[in-house]
Structure 1
Amino acid sequence: MFPKLTPITRNIIILNVIFYLASNFLIPQMYGMFSVYYIGSPDFRVWQILTHMFMHAPLGSGIGLTHILFNMLTLMSFGPVLEQVVGDRKYIMLYFLSGLGAYALNCGWNFFEITQGADLGPIYYTPMLGASGAIFGVVAAFSTLFPDNKLYFMFVPFGIKAKYLLPAIIVISLYLGFSGSMDGVAHFAHIGGAVVGYLLAKKWRNDRFRVN
């Protein structure tokens, strides 16, 4: 079951769907214009820092349609509750700062790879795209603000407390990132988004219970 969609979450999903349909059926050049490249790449453009959050893997390529489906279903599950609890302004801040944090950490990892002598070609000319970093921030914020809420997942016969979700995200993403498993997925971007979401939610939680 999904909670009732709230306005900002609904509009984010609509924008993602519009971008997906346009880039796959009308303007395929959008993948080059709006996906984000490493900041040192000649293909990098400033607007890509924001627009990459609305781009997803092309139909029939890589994980294809499941990329946008999984991201939007996850946002539908966690976004509406957070939007109502923290308010519109903070929710928008959470979403986009998490996406920016995802890009920043991914760039940091790319820079480290360059210092270790990695081939510049894949780093400079392979773009990053997707809402995953922003959505990992939303999930991390949810687990920080509602640590004892039980979450239920398909094929898991019992509820799992939300507070175990964030460390699981970090550990799994670190393992996949360092091991090179699931090549083509920006695992460090997921960590960057989750860390930003956690830090923002922790600050808001502490401010809420501060006594003057």
Structure 2
Amino acid sequence: MFTRTESFKEFLRFYPIVSVIIFINLLVFVIGYIPFLPRTWIYETFSGVNLYVAHGEFWRLLTPIFLHSGFTHLLFNSFSLVLFGPALERIAGKGRFLTIYLVSGIAANIATFLIQPLTYIHVGSSGAIFGLFGYYLAIISFRKSMLSRENAQLVKTIAILSIIMTFLQPNINVTAHIFGLISGYLIGAILLKK
């Protein structure tokens, strides 16, 4: 379920939403390195800056989901999305998967705005990715038959390890991780109970 055996072409065809999200992340990252465009412009315009959100720049609740602080950050989040996104895109469907991803990411950024100081600045798709974990946990809670026992155990283990690592690593938006997870779980609770 979480191992990738498809060719690149098959991956694009089978998982178009995951592919488009990764493409957008890569494109935004590359745009940040175009010589005639100052790299800082894209971050100054689209980062999650709580002070600017407070002054009405509400797009900053969405756009940080597609920005990353460096190549390692981008690589780690893209790798997580490649591992855990495809199965959920297949289980939930394209539209629902996109909803889970974006709503969890936005909810994580809203929580960051409400809890962190106005001087707080953040980027990254971790809140949205944790939303995927939250939705998987909701599947385990409300629709156990959708995942095998082994995959359910794997999801629980990775979710627990991810939460632990959230508190151990520096420069992590703990608020986004926790509220992304909660948001994904709540979305799952609403959608899966129907």
User: Aligning the two structures, in what range does the TM-score lie when normalised by the shorter sequence?
Assistant: 0.7 to 0.9
Quick one: which amino acid aligns to residue 85 of structure 2? Answer: G
TM-score by length of 2: 0.78
Which of 8, 21, 26 matches 1:12? 21
Of 194, 199, 203, which aligns to 2:186?
199
More helix by share: 2
Identity of aligned residues (%): 26
Structure 1: tracts of 5 or more residues without a match: 58-63, 111-122, 152-158, 208-212
Residue of 125, 136, 139 corresponding to 1:142: 136
SS at 1:96's partner residue?
helix
* SS of match in other structure, 2:32: helix
Q: Indicate if the aligned counterparts of 1:37 and 1:43 stay in contact, CA closer than 8 A.
A: no
1:2 aligns with 2:11: no
Q: Is the 8 A contact 1:43 1:125 kept in 2?
A: no
Q: Distance in 2 between matches of 1:167 and 1:160?
A: 11
Find the structure with the greater CA-based Rg: 1
Pairing 1:155-194 to 2, within 5 Å after superposition: 160-170=153-163, 173=166, 176=167, 182-194=169-181
| Alignment check: 8 A CA contact 1:36 1:45 kept | no
- In structure 2, the CA distance between the partners of 1:163 and 1:206, relative to structure 1 (3 Å rule), is farther
Q: Which runs of 4+ in 1 moved over 3 A?
A: 39-44, 123-126, 146-151, 164-173
User: Which 5+ residue runs of structure 2 have no aligned equivalent?
Assistant: 141-146
1:80-91 correspondence runs (5 A): 80-91=86-97
| Shift in Å, 1:101 | 1.4
Question: Residues 42 and 89 (structure 1 numbering): CA distance in 2 closer, same or farther, change over 3 Å?
Answer: closer
**What is residue 34 of structure 1 aligned with on the other side?**
46
Distance (Å, rounded) in 2 between the aligned partners of 1:184 and 1:192: 17
For the residue of structure 2 that corresponds to 1:124, the secondary structure is coil
Write the deviation string for residues 45-77 of structure 1: whole angstroms up to 9, x where unpaired: 2211111111001xxxxxx31100010011011
CA distance in 1, matches of 2:169, 2:159: 20
- Length-normalised TM-score, structure 1: 0.72
